[in-house]
Amino acid sequence: MAIKQHSVLPGFGLSLGYTLLYLSLIVLLPLSALVIKVTHMEWAAFWHAVTEPRVLASYRVTFGASLIAATLNLVFGLLLAWVLVRYPFPGKRLVDALVDLPFALPTAVAGIALATLYAPNGSIGRWLDPLGIKVAFTPLGIVFALTFITLPFVVRTVQPVLQDLETELEEAAASLGATRWQVFQRVILPTLLPALLTGFALAFARAIGEYGSVIFIAGNMPFVSEITPLMIISKLEQYDYLGATAIALVMLAVSFVMLLVINGLQWWSAKRLGRRK
Amino acid sequence: MTRRASLLAVAFALLSGHALADTTLLNVSYDVMRDFYKDYNPVFAKYYEAKFKDKLTVQQSHGGSSKQARSVIDGLEADVVTMNQSTDIDAIVEKGKQINSGWEKRLPDNASPFSSLQVLIVRKGNPKGIKDWNDLVKPGVQVVVPNPKTSGNGRYTYLAAWGYALKQPGGNDAKARSFVSALFANVPVLDSGGRAATTTFMQRNIGDVLVTFENEAEMIAREFGRGGFEVVYPSVSIDADLPVAVVDKVVDKKGTRKAAEEYLKYLWSPEGQQVAAQNYLRPRDKTVAAKFAKQFPVVKLFTVDEFGGWTKAQNQHFDDGGIYDQIAAANAKN
């Protein structure tokens, strides 16, 4: 006689159904509309739209700048999280709240503020300009904007893990003769790695799609500082809905593959540490 | 029962905001028309109420011209659209089919109640001595122009420069192309719209010349004061028509056709033309034009018909792979 096995936690069927429905409505529905729209396109036309030299140049700008911004935040986000968790100092709560500000600020405001600061006549730009450093209206400006926008991701993913990390582990390692670097490398970093990767992935994905802030500081010069979302907008300006959708699909596919790879990495690193996900 | 019904009626009246007899129009317009319609709407509402004994409210929606047209195509229930390029209204005719074809014949002047033109805005004292289009291609002169791919304003500038070069002695398409190419090689920043270009020029202090609509120059004066810049009228410029149309499908559904048609027709009345002139839009009405003649220096103008109309110009110059793209690609390589 077959006995139905029940999970200890009740309501699995209901919660799975709810999860699938919610994901379908919120995420899959609009995305599948995108895919369906593209199926109206001839393959040759699709290929032409997504491989135009100008569009290819914009991929380089968007993915390159996003990669740099996410990497910067990987390093400095970790540092920030470390300081916020490990050291008590006056005004800590204030600093902690500041981290989330880039989330709350409308991105256009961020873009305009950064452009104002770093323009050749801006309060920072005027000091950089004589040194030959141009930030606003160059690809460097795009990196600045994206770094600002994606700052909270790494901090907020690493912070809770760091909080749970027992200092006893580090003390034990130290008492066994490990140097500070060894403690960081062998004890702290492996524990933080999954959270770091998640933060990196989120920051990267967010940066790829960013339009509002970048558009004000990029200068938007063809082949130099045009981002892919701008290519989509300029297709729409010509009422070329299909061309715009084609480029959007490419961005979506690339982002999805990258997130998949990073998730895979995370799974691998967790497994290597002998922990189950 | 009756009490419940009356409660319901009260709730309904509260929800709908005003009494049921009122007419509400939605005017979907582009960015820099905000100031004009802010002045025009009350003038029209007063006229309409006096004539038809009906209270009228006009709601405004502003944004980039093509973006606004796309919203209408996608279902934004505009009673009238007021754009800066006829291609935007044509797109609604073709893609959304909410406007019947032949809209430009239903009102005078190709359905464009006023016009503007591209002028050159330079720094105080005109330090680079800019007098005409040919000064913009000189080495060392930086020109701020919005992106022709995303802005009607930028497209007008491109065509104005092209037309200027074409009209020079011995001018031809090849020469015009290299002229426009040299001009865009002097552009340091391509903003996505006209207002953003103004910010780049006035607030970021970038560039020696800003090319934009004549009425935008007046906005700059109101915003930044008249002391910081000078307006230079080139020897020849392009006549920027600013077309308007009733959205047939919407007005027939909402029953607002009469009000919507009156709203647009009144733009041609002396009162409407006066408001336009006060906002530095060139009026069509001869009497009003004479009254404001001091404000509008005479400039030789050509229209987009020089390029075979907007559809053809868009196709040849601004669509993907068009001449503007080729120029941008060649300039990026140098």
Residue B105 and residue B173 in one domain: no
| Contact check, Cβ <8 Å, B189/A219 | yes
* Mean pLDDT, rounded, for A246-275: 83
| Contact check, Cβ <8 Å, A223/B319 | no
Residues 6 or more apart in contact with residue A198 via CB below 8 angstroms = A157, A262, A266
Residue B129 and residue B218 in one domain: yes
* Cβ atoms of B61 and B76 closer than 8 Å: yes
Structural domain including B205 reads 116-240+298-333
Read off the pTM: 0.80
**Angle separating helix axes A241-272 and A228-237, nearest 10 degrees:** 160
- Other Cβ atoms closer than 10 A to B62: 16
| CB contacts, 8 Å: B150 with chain A | 230, 233-234, 237
Q: Is residue B286 part of a domain?
A: no
* Mean pLDDT, rounded, for A208-226: 90
CATH architecture of A39-271: Orthogonal Bundle (1.10)
Q: What 3-state class would DSSP assign to A236?
A: helix
Among B252, B268, B284, the domain boundary falls at B268
* Mean pLDDT, rounded, for B267-285: 95
Residue B134 and residue B198 in one domain: yes
* Mean pLDDT, rounded, for B292-321: 92
Q: What 3-state class would DSSP assign to B118?
A: strand
Residue B15 and residue B89 in one domain: yes
Name which of B27, B23, B25, B24 is nearest B245 in CA terms.
B27
Number of residues written out for chain B = 334
* Mean pLDDT, rounded, for A163-179: 89
Which of B95, B206, B329 minimises the CB distance to A239? B95
Q: Which residue of B has its CA nearest to A219?
A: B189
Instruction: Report the run of H or E that residue A44 belongs to, with start and end.
Output: helix A43-51
pLDDT band at B5 (very low <50, low <70, confident <90, very high): low
* Mean pLDDT, rounded, for A6-19: 82
* Mean pLDDT, rounded, for A1-20: 76
Q: Where are the alpha helices (DSSP H) in B2-93?
A: 2-16, 34-52, 65-73, 86-91
| CB contacts, 8 Å: B321 with chain A | 52
Q: Is residue B40 part of a domain?
A: yes
Tell me: pLDDT of A234 over 90.
no
pLDDT band at B19 (very low <50, low <70, confident <90, very high): very low
- Is the Cβ of B128 closer than 8 Å to some Cβ of chain A? no
Q: What is the mean pLDDT of chain B?
A: 89
Q: Is residue B53 part of a domain?
A: yes
Residue B85 and residue B168 in one domain: no
pLDDT score of B274 = 95
Residue B303 and residue B165 in one domain: yes
Q: Is residue B172 part of a domain?
A: yes
Name which of A257, A224, A235, A218 is nearest A60 in CA terms.
A224
Question: Euclidean distance between the first and final Cα of chain A, in Å?
Answer: 34
Distance CA B334, CA B323 (A): 17
Residue B64 and residue B21 in one domain: yes
Structural domain spans, chain A? 39-271
Pairing outcome for strands B209-213 and B143-144: parallel
Residue B189 and residue B324 in one domain: yes
Name which of A249, A240, A234, A246 is nearest A43 in CA terms.
A246
| Contact check, Cβ <8 Å, A54/B325 | yes
Residue with tokens 């491989």: A51
What is the domain-level CATH number for residue B140?
Answer: 3.40.190.10
Q: Annotate B41-55 with b (16+ C-beta within 10 A) or e (fewer).
A: beebbebbeeeeeee
Tell me: pLDDT of A64 over 90.
yes
pLDDT score of A169 = 87
| Contact check, Cβ <8 Å, B66/A237 | yes
pLDDT score of B18 = 44
Distance CA B298, CA A258 (A): 59
Please give the tally of structural domains in chain B. 2
- Is the Cβ of A170 closer than 8 Å to some Cβ of chain B? no
Distance CA A179, CA A167 (A): 15
pLDDT digits (tens, 9 = 90+) for B138-184: 999 999 999 998 888 999 999 999 999 999 999 999 999 999 999 99
Please give, rounded to a whole number of angstroms, the shortest distance from the CA of B233 to a CA of chain A.
Answer: 27
pLDDT score of A274 = 64
| CB contacts, 8 Å: A129 with chain B | none
Please name every residue paired with B30 in a beta bridge, in sequence order, or none if there are none: B63
pLDDT score of A244 = 92
Residue B90 and residue B170 in one domain: no
Q: How many CB pairs under 8 A join A and B?
A: 77
In chain B, residues 146-205 whose CB comes closer than 8 Å to chain A: 147, 149-150, 188-192, 196, 199, 203-205
Q: What is the mean pLDDT of chain A?
A: 89
Best residue of B142, B181, B187, B320 to probe chain A, by most A CBs closer than 10 Å? B320
Distance CA A116, CA A118 (A): 6
